[in-house]
Structure 1
Amino acid sequence: MTGAAVSRPAELPEHDYPYYRDALAGQRLPAAFIDLDHFRINLERLRVRAAGMPIRLVTKSVRSVAMIRLALATGNFIRGLLCYSPAEAAWLASQGLDDLVVAYPSVEREDLRAVAAQLRNGRSITLMVDSMAQVEQIDALARAEGVVIPLSIDLDMSSTFPGIYFGVYRSPVHDVATAVALANGIAACPGVRLEGLMGYEGQIAGLMDVVPGQGLKNAIVRSLKRRSIDETNTRRRNVVQALTAAGHPLRFVNGGGTGSVESTKSDPSVTEVAAGSGLYTPALFDHYASFQALPSAGFALPVTRLPKDGIFTCSGGGYIASGPIGKNRLPQPWLPAGCTLIDNEGAGEVQTPLRHPASVALKIGEPMLFRHAKAGELCERFNELLLITGGRVVDQVTTYRGDGKCFF
């Protein structure tokens, strides 16, 4: 990346449609872009929210080595990376990045061998586990490769209330007894060692709670969050204390995400908070009581048809986000404001029609701007990201896809 010296930005209003339209003039569409001014503001807001707590950058929410490097270059409050695949972590390590923790368990032998190779090169990569079945396979491979692989235990942070399971289904390690038993099992295996604990409270970090038009639901969600924060922070703290007392000191205790920075860092057992989505700020992170950030990632589709009054059609656009099926997983028309998807077509594989107000009259070839529902998943659809600052494209950088990488 050649175009972006990092500096602490002053606050500025959100950029409007003419700003992006003019910046993208002459660029091939469809195109994905990053507003560097907004990106830097989001980084600064994250620093303020963290208030001295180290942030481990979640790579699945970025998925571009250049953008990861830019985030790391902002200062020492971002320390290390939280990866989603051992193969990804090994590749990032080969690019010179270090202090990598893999957030999801895997026993894919080829990927584990790649991790072992990077460990022999002096890189730090910690793998996630939640069962002895995983530990035993990793231990066997590590001994065959002549390395000791660092491990972290994934602690379940969901809450169960009467009639409500509030959280996500991740780990079977849900209390002191199961955590200590797994730690003891790790200690008995010579090819691995315990270094960390991760407790991700997805029901706090990933659930909006001030969504317009959903007043009652918002109130219920905020109430459940308050109860869950108290319960899960206590659980994580008790597990850390028990592991230490049982002779298993931890190098790090990781928790949270963009939506839970404040509540996660209130747990004194936590040594670092994970965050990533708040840098790009996709549509699913628009409505949180605890923070606000600016949209910095978007994509532009060209208008290619004008089938009738009040409707124009764009090329491409069917970039659907993962998660439960629903309209909130669709890309959202962004700028010009007031345009909407059509219910019986949505965002299509090769075309996306939109209804538009009379005040919006885009011409054939002009860009329509969208935001993805999630953060890094947008990068799976594009080889490059155009970097915009000062009203112009100053650089373009590759995504993982542009580097020829697909880790799942």
Structure 2
Amino acid sequence: MDDRQRYDQATATLEAPFALLDLAAVRANAADMVRRAGGKPIRVASKSIRSRQVLELIMAMDGFRGVMAFTLPEALWLVERGFSDVLVAYPTADRHALAALAADARAASEITVTVDSPGHLDYLETAISEVHPRHEIRISIDIDAGYVALGGKFRVGALRSPVRDPDQAADLAADIAKRPGLRLVGLMAYEAQIAGVGDAPPGHPAYARAIRLIQARSARELVLRRGRVVNAVRELCDLEFVNGGGTGSIERTVREKAITEVAAGSGFFHPRLFDFYRGFTGHPAALFALPVVRLPSPGVVTVLGGGYLASGPPGPTRLPQPYLPAGLRYTADEAAGEVQTPLLGRPAEDLRIGDRVWFRHAKAGELCERFDTLHLIDGDTLVDSVPTYRGEGRTFL
């Protein structure tokens, strides 16, 4: 039985559109990530999952420890629901959530918030100033992991933290130490230009070579700079964790002595953008089915919905992939539409009204912002249906 038949059989009682999660693929992807991590724990990036029950399933597997959340309200909700060791990897400007964090003993002991400037510390202190009694706030510093060359004229990597060098990190660490009620417990540095950029884009060999060259140089620069940053901060305080990496760089990042854990999330679902890495091969695990609702002309079908574009620079790589049956493609004029999506290709000749076309999202967790339920299959059997964040009425972004 091929994958399309398996998906269709397992979900025969469901009405499309709907989202599916293949548990066998998730388990295989998770096992490979653990292998690549070489014994260092993997912190699970919740933005790539966005389902509480699926997070619980993953956290029950060996090799995974802690959650990397994307907002403080999300972290507070996860801890309320029983999760522990939650790192909010992005700075927050949510005054109410900060006050709630300071007022809750368990939340304050389990959640770490991220800063990269004294301005964040000032804002945090103001937000919790009226909380009495209040609990100590755990802090992580975000270090810029971007690659800079040619005297600053060339840069790749996410525009995140202004903290790059050991002195800047040490100065911020010293500032945290002077503020009562704040405690520095960790550092993080996400090398987006390595972990989040596939080094084997199809059909562009010259571009692929350029990516590999830049990634190699960036990795060499970062291993030295990150190590010096960590050493400088450790002279001032004890650190519980130093977090780095992502799905695309696990095996490279764990080789750094300074790193105590890596983060990963997209690798569990293996969305379309993660097909283009030489270092690993994942199994597509998260898909969505759209029903055929029109047959406009020979070789053309129209499906319901489909305009689920991924974040990032706009372009074809951010479109969902018509996956099964293989060989379907978008029209140049309409692409993925708000309410309907026409598809071209020889397989369209065999499709009929009510048949399904299976798609893969370009990214991982963003799929869950479109669906309130993930239907879980194992083999060719539907074993459960669990809510996404949206299905639990939680829209954190």
- Per the shorter chain, which TM-score range? over 0.9
1:265-276 alignment to 2 at 5 Å?
265-276=254-265
CA contact (8 A) 1:42 1:293 kept: yes
Q: 1:261 corresponds to which residue?
A: 250
Give the CA deviation at 1:45: 0.6
Q: Which of 151, 154, 157 is equivalent to 2:142?
A: 154
Quote the residue 1:48 is aligned against.
35
Residue matched to 1:110:
96
- Indicate the SS of the match to 1:369: strand
Across the two proteins, how many residue pairs are aligned to each other? Answer: 393
Counterpart among 177, 184, 188 of residue 198 in structure 1: 188
Q: Distance in 1 between matches of 2:105 and 2:263?
A: 23
Give runs of aligned pairs for residues 2-401 of structure 1, distance below 5 A: 15-75=2-62, 77-120=63-106, 123-145=109-131, 146-162=134-150, 163-245=153-235, 247-358=236-347, 361-401=350-390
TM-score normalised over the length of structure 2: 0.96
Distance 2:93 2:101 in 1: 11
Segments of structure 2 that go 5 or more residues without pairing to the other structure are none
In the TM superposition, residue 224 of structure 1 has moved relative to its aligned partner by 0.5
Q: Helix, strand or coil for the counterpart of 2:130? A: helix
Q: 1:84 to 1:355 in 2, by over 3 A?
A: same
Shift of 1:244: 1.4
In structure 2, what residue type is equivalent to 1:226? Answer: A
Deviations 1:263-312 (A, max 9, x none): 11111000000001000000011110111110000000000000001100
Query: By how many angstroms is 1:191 displaced?
Result: 2.1
Q: Which amino acid aligns with 1:32?
A: A
Q: Say whether the 8 Å CA contact 1:138–1:192 is kept in structure 2.
A: no
The SS at the match of 1:144 is coil
The whole-number CA distance in structure 2 between the counterparts of 1:15 and 1:139 is 57
Q: In the aligned structure 2, how far is the partner of 1:275 from the partner of 1:49?
A: 11
Distance 2:21 2:51 in 1: 11
Provide the C-alpha distance between the structure 2 equivalents of 1:282 and 1:393, rounded to a whole number of angstroms.
21
The answer on whether the counterparts of 1:142 and 1:148 sit within 8 Å (CA) in structure 2 is: no
SS of corresponding position for 1:291: coil
Q: Give the deviation of 1:398 after TM superposition.
A: 0.3
Counterpart of 1:113 in structure 2: which amino acid?
A: A
After superposition, the Cα gap between the structure-2 partners of 1:396 and 1:209, relative to the gap in structure 1 and judged at 3 Å, is same
Aligned partners of 1:173 and 1:341: how far apart in 2?
43
Relative to structure 1, the CA distance from residue 72 to residue 182 in structure 2 (aligned partners, 3 Å threshold; closer, same or farther) is same
- Distance between the aligned counterparts of 2:97 and 2:330, measured in 1? 41
Q: Indicate conservation of the 8 Å contact 1:140/1:191, yes or no.
A: no
1:164 deviation in Å? 2.6
CA drift at 1:15? 5.0
Distance 1:35 1:403 in 2: 21
Alpha-carbon contact 2:140-2:184 (below 8 Å) kept: yes
- TM-score after normalising by structure 1: 0.94
Is the 8 Å Cα contact of residues 300 and 348 (structure 2) preserved in structure 1?
no
CA distance in 1, matches of 2:100, 2:278: 42
Match of 1:7 in 2: none
- 2:72 maps to a residue whose letter is P
CA RMSD of aligned residues (A): 1.4
For the residue of structure 2 that corresponds to 1:113, the secondary structure is helix
In the aligned structure 2, how far is the partner of 1:202 from the partner of 1:178?
Answer: 21
Q: Percent identity?
A: 46
- Over 3 Å counting, the alpha-carbon distance change for 1:279 and 1:360 in structure 2 is farther
Letter in 2 for 1:351: Q
Which letter does structure 2 place at the counterpart of 1:68? L
